[in-house]
Structure 1
């Protein structure tokens, strides 16, 4: 289970060159909306991933390549995506999983799917 994040940035100082501190303890990244960046920084901090590498990937060529690849995969999904977010496991769409993700316990769904797909690895 994932713990709730009580602090938006949990004492993480961003490595982005255009990041500036704001009076409320968060960071401004220029003209973009700060909230997703703050969530990503908090997640990186919680999982002990150096934000510098995430920032470099997201703003560099590798990040652009990954975005193009994700776009191609999204466009290739059958049936075509008509709703965001659309939840897909193992490159297969299921109405049951989609409804469970939207109206049920999403974290439990992820945990169950992960455990089911990794049972053979622990044996």
Structure 2
């Protein structure tokens, strides 16, 4: 397998895992009251956390599974169950509402706003499963 073929396969798998197109509506709903600078800072926080999270498990993931005695097949089954439950949650219609808080006013500095929103949005964006 050539390096270019491996890179394309890696990019396609990563794109499918993170699903940036599917996360746009959730991000827009969750940051509706934010300033453009606050949105950019929040997107940067999420991107950096996602990079660190994926790099950590890229290097340690199989070792962690082996340490706990979890087979790759069992891990795939658990992932399928999580995807099913996430799909059910999205069908119910309150999925995007969970990440928005209309009562929350934007603080004076967008850094504080981005840190607060980061705590709510880290799971659907940086750790999709």
TM-score relative to the length of structure 1: 0.30
TM-score relative to the length of structure 2: 0.29
Q: Which has the higher contact order (CA 8 A, sep 6+)?
A: 2
Pick the structure with more helix per residue.
2
Pick the structure with more strand per residue.
1
